[in-house]
């Protein structure tokens, strides 16, 4: 998609369709819209779409008025959604070119970036493997139009393009079927990206992980014919750094999860190709960071495995020794994500990471608790938690701080090993986080359970059904804003 910036009066914009955000409680009189407000055809409610043709006084062929809700609640995240909804509507009409007009109050750099992101994200479709694409529709060109502004707007357009393309890159990986996206194939995605954008790349194979003692990670992979890998991507800033901060991003990369011997029900199991969404988001975040260039070093680690019930598969009751030296009784082989994260987090500490964030489609319990709206956020450090929460708020990726009191450790007791991999029926998302905390401490650490937010079971007006790319934007903002 071609992305451009124009500085023109609203009635001078030449395009197939001009998108104009309109609001509740703020009557829009330009371009004859006041009459439609009076008639009740336009209310400004969030997501409302009114498409007009050949509006007098306009050079644009069409005007799409997109409801943006109440002005007091409008922000960059709402603009991102509004532009996305408008683009998907225009695509359905086979319109190939569009622009969005931003008034002075909406023309800050964050809004410009969000508008570009919204258009790019809305253009993504999940029909890659359909052979008949008679109705294939895409947007060829998108313009952000405003009356004036300075050079920071060009930088905002570029930032929006980088973030939107990185998020779609992560969504592309998460949408791949598991017969095509094996752990080695995921590593190949990462390798090609690293070479293109100048990141350091390394992969640990099964033999190297065995030499190191990653028994927790390797135990999960025992039932699969597909070899496991630990993918490592490194970004180093060009300017010397004081060395006090090294951010580690750890993403769960289970390319397919049957549950292993503790096998999942058949209903819905096909969606388990998305169980590497955390890993995909971290790879995508590194793609963006390689271009945006934060001031701190960032290392991403993606433990990639397939969890299968083969003849050599890990069994309930098995005891494994993690890289940290702690022993784990495997009570449920379907609680595999925390097992691979444990070793990846320990290795991140050995690589010198001073602050850690992991993202994982970890538990169904977090979906029960928070639905498909909020990411469950757990932390052992208040300062890092606040950094992540502020980054998420700025990027419109909703997160909710969950408890991690020491009392929850009482659920994680084993008579045979240092700890079990599950803690019983109650507080499943919390006990999963508490398990990971045993390996993260004392390093400042945040755990993001994205099981309910990494995938859309039904498409939204602004985004296609399937992978979302959460929490890529938050991770990029976290690294870029680090002071």
Catalytic residues: 264, 338
Contacts 24+ apart (CB under 8 A), 89-94: 89/49, 89/51, 89/64, 89/461, 90/16, 90/17, 90/19, 90/64, 90/139, 91/122, 91/123, 91/137, 91/138, 91/139, 92/137, 93/51, 94/137
DSSP string across 460-480 = BTTB-SEE--TTHHHHHHHHH
3-state secondary structure of 27: coil
Report residue 111 as tokens: 């809004």
Q: How far is it, in rounded angstroms, from Cα 401 to Cα 415?
A: 31
Longest Cα separation, the chain: 79
Q: How far is it, in rounded angstroms, from Cα 180 to Cα 363?
A: 25
What distance lies between CA 279 and its chain's CA centroid?
Answer: 9
Task: Tell me the torsion sign for CA atoms 83, 85, 88, 89.
Answer: negative
446 touches 252 (CB < 8 A): no
Let me know if 126 is exposed, middle or buried by CB neighbors in 10 A (0-12, 13-18, 19+): middle
Name the H helices within 59-151: 76-92, 109-122
With b for 16 or more beta-carbon neighbours within 10 A and e for fewer, the 384-414 pattern comes to bbebbbebbebbbbbbeebebeeebbebbee
Rounded to 5°, the CA angle 174-430-183 comes to 25
Task: Tell me the torsion sign for CA atoms 364, 378, 450, 111.
Answer: positive
- What are the backbone dihedrals phi and psi of residue 341, each rounded to the nearest 5 degrees, phi first? -65, -35
DSSP string across 387-455 = HHHHHHHHHT--EEE----GGGGGG---SSSSEES---STTHHHHHHHHHHHHHTTS-EEEEE-TTTSE
Residue in this structure with the two tokens 């099964």, named with its chain if needed? 206
Query: What spatial distance separates the first Cα and last Cα of the chain, rounded to whole Å?
Result: 34
Q: How far is it, in rounded angstroms, from Cα 221 to Cα 218?
A: 5
Q: How far is it, in rounded angstroms, from Cα 180 to Cα 273?
A: 10
Q: How far is it, in rounded angstroms, from Cα 90 to Cα 341?
A: 42
């Amino acid at each position: 998609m071609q992305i451009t910036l124009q500085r023109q009066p609203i009635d001078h914009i030449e395009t197939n369709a001009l998108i104009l955000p309109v609001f509740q409680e703020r009557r829009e009189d330009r371009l004859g819209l006041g009459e439609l407000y009076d008639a009740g055809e336009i209310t400004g409610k969030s997501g409302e779409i009114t498409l007009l043709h050949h509006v007098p006084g306009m050079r644009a062929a069409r005007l799409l008025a997109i409801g943006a809700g109440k002005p007091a609640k409008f922000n960059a995240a709402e603009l991102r959604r509004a532009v996305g909804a408008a683009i998907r509507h225009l695509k359905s009409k086979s319109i190939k070119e569009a622009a969005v007009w931003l008034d002075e109050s909406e023309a800050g750099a964050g809004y410009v970036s969000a508008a570009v992101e919204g258009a790019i994200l809305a253009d993504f479709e999940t029909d890659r493997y359909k052979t008949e694409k008679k109705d294939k529709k895409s947007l060829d060109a998108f313009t952000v139009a405003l009356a004036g502004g300075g050079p920071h707007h060009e930088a905002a357009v570029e930032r929006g393009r980088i973030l939107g393309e990185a998020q779609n890159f992560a969504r592309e990986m998460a949408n791949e079927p598991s017969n095509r996206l094996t752990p080695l194939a995921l590593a190949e995605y990462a390798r090609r990206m690293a070479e293109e954008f100048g990141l350091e790349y390394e992969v640990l194979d099964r033999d190297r992980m065995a030499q190191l003692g990653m028994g927790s990670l390797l135990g999960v992979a025992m039932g699969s014919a597909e070899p496991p890998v630990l993918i490592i991507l490194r970004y180093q800033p060009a300017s010397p750094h004081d060395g006090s901060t090294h951010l580690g991003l750890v993403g769960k990369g289970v390319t397919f999860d049957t549950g292993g011997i503790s096998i999942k029900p058949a209903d819905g199991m096909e969606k388990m190709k998305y169980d590497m969404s955390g890993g995909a988001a971290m790879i995508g975040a590194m793609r963006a960071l390689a271009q945006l260039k934060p001031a701190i070093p960032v290392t991403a680690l993606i433990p990639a495995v397939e969890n299968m019930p083969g003849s050599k598969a890990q069994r309930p009751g098995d005891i494994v020794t993690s890289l940290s030296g702690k022993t784990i009784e495997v009570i449920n082989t379907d609680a595999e994500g925390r097992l691979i994260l444990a070793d990846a987090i320990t290795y991140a500490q050995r690589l010198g990471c001073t602050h850690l964030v992991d993202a994982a489609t970890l538990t169904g319990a977090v979906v029960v608790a928070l639905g498909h709206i909020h990411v469950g956020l757990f932390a052992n450090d208040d300062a890092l938690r606040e950094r992540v929460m502020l980054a998420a708020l700025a990027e419109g990726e909703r997160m909710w701080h969950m408890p991690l009191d020491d009392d929850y450790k009482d659920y994680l007791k084993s008579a045979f090993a240092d700890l079990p991999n599950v803690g019983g029926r109650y507080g499943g998302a919390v006990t999963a986080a508490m398990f990971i905390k045993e390996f993260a401490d004392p390093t400042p650490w945040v755990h993001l359970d994205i099981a309910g937010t990494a995938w859309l079971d039904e498409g939204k007006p602004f985004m296609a059904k399937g992978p979302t790319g959460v929490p890529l934007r938050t991770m990029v903002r976290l690294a870029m804003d680090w002071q």
